[in-house]
Every structure is written in C-alpha cells, then in structure tokens.
Amino acid sequence: MMVVKMKKIYQSPLPYYDERLHDICALVLHCSTHDADEMVEVLREKQLSSHYIIGLDGKIIQPVDDAKRAWHAGVSRWREMDNLNHYSIGIEISSPSMGQESYRDAQICNLIWLCRRLIRKYRIPPVNVVAHSDVAPQRKPDPGLMFPWQYLADSGVGLWYDLSDAKKVSEDDPAKLLSVIGYNIENISAASYAFCRHFLPQLVEKCSDIKWLLDNVYPSDYVFPLQYINVLKACAYKYSLLKNTKMRSIRSKK
Ligand SMILES: [Zn+2]
C-alpha cells in the first residue's frame, strides 16, 4: 500500500467568517496572483477569507477552520446550491499568471493530498468539486485554463468525461446539458465559456493581461461550439450518473 506522508498545515487565522448552517458538501478551487503568506494579508485587507491557501512551493496555510463559513465564493450557484459559501470549503492556490500558465508540481501534489483528505472526511461528492469560474461564471475566471482538472480527476478529485459516453445521451440542447452538469444557465454565454475553461481549455484564449482577464471573464456573445457537443454530452452523462452521491441532507436553518 502506498503510504502518503502527512503534510504540515500552517495556521494563520483570519477573523472573516461566520457560523455554518449547512453541512459541507462542496470544494471550490480558486487561484490568486499572490504567494501564500502575502495572500493572507491581501485577504485581511479585503476582509475576505478562505479555508486553505496553497503557495507556490506547496506550503499549506489554513486561515479559517473547516467548521466555519469562510467568505470566498461570493454570489454563486451550482446545482441546487445557492451561495456556495454555505456549503463549501474554499481553497486558494497561488498562480502569478491567474492560471494562464502551468501550476507547479509541488502545489498540485499538496492540493491533491488536501482535497482527498477533505473529500474523505466530509464525503464530498465528485460532482461538487468545482472551480470558482464554474459557480460564478459571469464574474470569475479562476483557477484558469491551465488548471489540471483531468489530472486531479485521475487522482480521485472531481470528475472528467469519457467521450464514449456521449452516444448514451439523446439530449443535444447545450443549455439543458450544462444545467444537468450543475451550471446556472441564466447567462448561457457565461456558463458555456466556464464549461470550456474547465473541460475544453484549448478553446479558451490565453490572456497575459490579468487586469483585462478579470474585467472580461467571458465573451458576452459566446455560443457553445456545436462540434464539441459530444464533450458536453459525455460530461452530462458522467455528472448525472453520479448525482446519486449527491449532497447529504441539509440541516434546516436555525
Ligand atoms: Zn476565486
């Protein structure tokens, strides 16, 4: 059996959180241009927070306890969850390019270790391991087109598609397929582009101007390219198949 070495988690508390009223059932992955320690200070200035931060060398910092509701996702939606802060653990990963260049091996290795630990502990279903851009497609581009989603899925974190599943799906309306996966389709251009960022990054334009990227998260006239509909179908199949591992019962609000 492979022995995975325990990693050190540094504590650097931030006071920006509140009480959780719901069980944890999602992981939201972010990126930030700052390295880990600097990121804590940036969050402090903005009066925001995150449960974990992973630095450029893989250093893991925990500013907020899992049991508390950190402030990382903002206005967001995924599947039946409105405002992901209620349901999720937020992880920020340092990326000076905002995910436009490759992440470092040490970061991804420690991220996978951390995610697997959280997934096991809280029984987080793979359909709920998401990007900030998946849950806030109109507002957020992180963790960016170079984030290695397929590698993570192969390592037991989240889901990837198997193209051969496409033929099992008769639905061919992109909006319906995106909705089955979990996207909020109120803005179909934004949802389509977020899907591509995650599953078809070769269709997403690389951008070295970070300010521009943050101000122009998606092309407002974006239409899902129908020659890739099979990727969308294969994803919808995988996500609907596994939806029975769905959210655990949610405690009623106090
Ligand atoms: Zn984010």
Query: Hey, what are 121's tokens?
Result: 């502990």
DSSP letter (8 states) at residue 225: -
How many whole angstroms from 140 Cα to the centroid of ligand 1? 6
- Write down the catalytic residue from 92, 101, 171, 205: 92
pLDDT in tens, 6-45: 899 999 999 999 999 999 999 999 999 999 999 999 999 9
How many whole angstroms from 241 Cα to the centroid of ligand 1? 28
How many whole angstroms from 179 Cα to the centroid of ligand 1? 21
DSSP letter (8 states) at residue 177: H
pLDDT in tens, 148-161: 999 999 999 999 99
How many whole angstroms from 42 Cα to the centroid of ligand 1? 13
* Closest CA relative to residue 112, chosen from 148, 63, 70: 148
Residue 92 is a catalytic residue: yes
pLDDT in tens, 74-111: 999 999 999 999 999 999 999 999 999 999 999 999 99
pLDDT higher than 90, residue 1: no
pLDDT higher than 60, residue 191: yes
How many whole angstroms from 224 Cα to the centroid of ligand 1? 23
Q: Whose structure tokens read 């192969």?
A: 154
Of the pLDDT bands very low, low, confident and very high (cuts 50, 70, 90), residue 253 is: very low
Q: Is 108 exposed, middle or buried (0-12, 13-18, 19+ CB in 10 A)?
A: buried
Of the pLDDT bands very low, low, confident and very high (cuts 50, 70, 90), residue 243 is: low
Contact between 143 and 204 (Cβ < 8 Å):
no
Q: Whose structure tokens read 């806030």?
A: 136
DSSP letter (8 states) at residue 54: E
The arithmetic mean of pLDDT across residues 195-217, rounded, is 97
pLDDT value, residue 172: 93
How many whole angstroms from 98 Cα to the centroid of ligand 1? 10
The arithmetic mean of pLDDT across residues 227-240, rounded, is 96
pLDDT value, residue 4: 64
**CATH label, 9-245, candidates 3.40.80.10, 3.60.90.10, 2.70.98.10, 3.30.565.60:** 3.40.80.10
How many whole angstroms from 74 Cα to the centroid of ligand 1? 9
3-state secondary structure of 93: strand
User: 203-207 — which CB contacts under 8 Å span 24+ positions?
Assistant: 203/228, 204/145, 206/100, 206/145, 207/100
| Average pLDDT over the chain, rounded to an integer | 94
| Pairwise CA distance, residues 216 & 199, whole Å | 20
Provide the whole-model pTM.
0.94
Of the pLDDT bands very low, low, confident and very high (cuts 50, 70, 90), residue 248 is: very low
Q: Which residue has the higher pLDDT, 249 or 111?
A: 111
pLDDT higher than 50, residue 114: yes
Query: Hey, what are 44's tokens?
Result: 């402090």
pLDDT higher than 90, residue 117: yes
Task: List helix spans (H) across the chain.
Answer: 36-46, 105-122, 132-135, 149-154, 174-181, 188-199, 210-215, 229-241
Q: Is 202 exposed, middle or buried (0-12, 13-18, 19+ CB in 10 A)?
A: exposed
> Which sequence spans correspond to the domains of the chain?
9-245
**Cα 56 to Cα 24, 35, 64, 169, distances in angstroms:** 27, 6, 20, 41
